[in-house]
Amino acid sequence: MLIDVHAHLDNELFSKNINELIEECKKNNVKEIINNGLNLESNKNTLELSKNFDLIKASFGLYPLEAEKINSSNFNKLKSHIIENSENIIAIGEIGLDGKYSKDLKLQEKYFTELLKLAKEINKPIIVHSRQAELKVLELLKINKMEKVVMHSFTGNKKIAKEIINNNWFFSIPPCIINSKHFQFLVEITPIENLLTETDSPYQYTNHEPNKPFFVKYSIEMISKIKNSNEKNISQKVFDNYKNVFIN
């Protein structure tokens, strides 16, 4: 049983063959895929996908670089849409900060903080993007006393990773771990109880091919090697973690 906690299947790359893709995921034993919305339109498309396919669960968010483009009236619309659909979503994400491509990090912080508060109000876990802004993200998560947190494709240093583990938060591990010393090390230092799997499909291309949710099998393969356990056992543990964070 495989889990992808971070995908963007509403991306236009999948629009023509979404039915085939979902069938392929089922054949490959994928049990759940969390589709992460990036803005209001993408949140609406995410909801549609979750209604059409049992396999897909909805998470509504505001991508950090989208937060730089939004005005406060459109932000309020996005927020109301989340509140109206709180029964239909299992998380808030993708949200966070992006230092790499940021033009206005303060603006990103403002909306990220508002969404952290909203997640607490409606009692949802969060799926967090923290590229080149890991320390600031950690600070905001701590200030806002967040409980259920999944750090997506985390590329921060060991010190910050340890703090995330000490808070009993989660890392979702992408298929590129196969070739990434960084993710291999992250898995080494993280207890299995704090690991999940993700793809970020269709982003983070593998061999020039769009990423697909069932490629989490590569994450499981590598985690099993590092944790010296079999793949069945590891995928069961990751599934249990998934239930603990998103379902219970």
Q: Does 10 bind Zn ion (CB under 5 A)?
A: no
Ramachandran quadrant class, 173 (left: phi over 0; alpha: psi -120 to 50; beta: rest):
beta
Measured distance CA(74)–CA(160) in Å, rounded: 33
Asked if 4 is part of the footprint of Zn ion (rule: CB under 5 A), the reply reads no
Residues 84-103 that bind Zn ion (CB under 5 A): 94
How many residues make contact with Zn ion (CB under 5 A)?
Answer: 2
Q: Give min distance, CB of 233 to Zn ion, in A.
A: 28
Q: Which CB sits closer to Zn ion, 98 or 200?
A: 200
Contact 80, 86 (CB under 8 A): no
Please, what is the minimum distance in Å from the beta carbon of residue 228 to Zn ion? 30
Calpha distance 92→63 (Å, rounded): 11
Q: Where does this chain touch Zn ion (CB under 5 A) — which range of 18-26, 135-143, 177-185, 199-207?
A: 199-207
Considering the complex, what minimum distance in angstroms separates the CB of residue 144 from Zn ion?
A: 21
**End-to-end CA separation in angstroms for the chain:** 18
Q: Pick from 89, 137, 200, 211: which binds Zn ion (CB under 5 A)?
A: 200
Coil, helix or strand at residue 54: coil
β-strands 170-173, 149-152 pairing: parallel
The stretch among 155-163, 187-195, 198-206, 213-221 that binds Zn ion (CB under 5 A) is 198-206
Vertex 173, ends 211 and 101: CA angle to 5°?
70
Binding mask 215-244 for Zn ion (x = CB under 5 A): ------------------------------
Q: List interacting residues with Zn ion (CB under 5 A).
A: 94, 200
